[in-house]
Amino acid sequence: TVALALGLAWGRMPEAVEYFARVPEAAADARVQEWRIRAALWNGNWERAREWIARLPKNLATQDRWTYWRARALDKSKATQAQAASLYQGLSLQNNIYGALAAWRLGRAHTPTPQPQVADAAAQAALQSSEGIIRARELHLVDRDAWAMAEWRKALEDATPATRVQAGILASQWGWHSQAIPTLATAAVFDDFELTYPLAYEPQVKKAQQLTGISPAWINAVMRQESLFNAEAVSSANAYGLMQLLLPTARGVAKRWKLPAPTQATLFQPVTNLQLGAAYLSELRDKFGGNLLQALGSYNAGPGAVARWLPDQPMDADIWVENIPYNETRNYIQKILWHITVFSWKETGQAQDLSAVLTPIGKASP
């Protein structure tokens, strides 16, 4: 029954709710607990959603994801709308996509709350005199990043969180963002938006915007998620550069946009990679009628997969994203939406309203 219920949920079939209801509670592991809620959301069964959310164990129930969906379910009943509003209000203070979604449900724009770190001169000097850190930087400067990262990890393996913060600040000052961001993450620093959301490659981003019309915030958001601003990044699938392009895909885009045919080597050039990546994102956006969520899903999983996931009738965008059967793609879209929120806020200084990108999604959606 469990396997059948999960398969029906991943196929977004209405029978999934019925089959999940037959699963004994003792057999409901975390995957069942999450997917039965998703199935109820997809099928508009808010009563079941509330029931199953109430049964979540504490380690899941306290996550922002399921706090948000608890609020959404409570919001469907007039008797519990005040409770939902209270949950939304608390979530809206969070620096993540669920904070932005909660603000959206409250009819508000969302303002990220930066938590800046402070450089410590003595700690910085000690790090810069460390033989391991010196070797790491020198290897990075000659594009031997695999060795550089190994030296960096070795130098910091016994470091305190405070020292890791200072190391992250140092790497950021060097422009080594692909090392700075994960180093800061190991010290639970995510919200110093100068360090964790740098405006790297600004001239090349601007050139890509001028070619494609894709906003700098979108380009920066995809670049951050795909490569952490590492122009030399190579994936296990042989995707290259800042926006992680496969060579055949890049060549097809170049031909359609009348740009020079790229080689593997030129995909490591920021200007080439960003232009082709932005052009590809533009094509996907246009393919799905301007819908950013579907374009991002296509960038990660391919347009064929996204087309299979579209409901026959329009549904709320947050429900559609939550029911994407590929965990990687679901998380990818949610993370990039948050990245876009931060980069747009940095660019404009204004609170960010997600309503324009959270329009209902269906096969006939614009």
- Decide if 226 is catalytic: yes
Greatest Cα pair distance in the chain: 64
95 vs 221: CA distance, rounded Å? 15
CB 273 within 8 A of CB 233: no
157 vs 248: CA distance, rounded Å? 39
34 vs 277: CA distance, rounded Å? 34
Residue pointed to by tokens 């979604």: 101
| Residue among 226, 283, 328, 347 flagged as catalytic | 226
Q: State the Cα angle at 83 between 81 and 86, rounded to 5°.
A: 110
Instruction: State CA 100 to chain mean position distance.
Output: 13
**Positions marked active-site:** 226
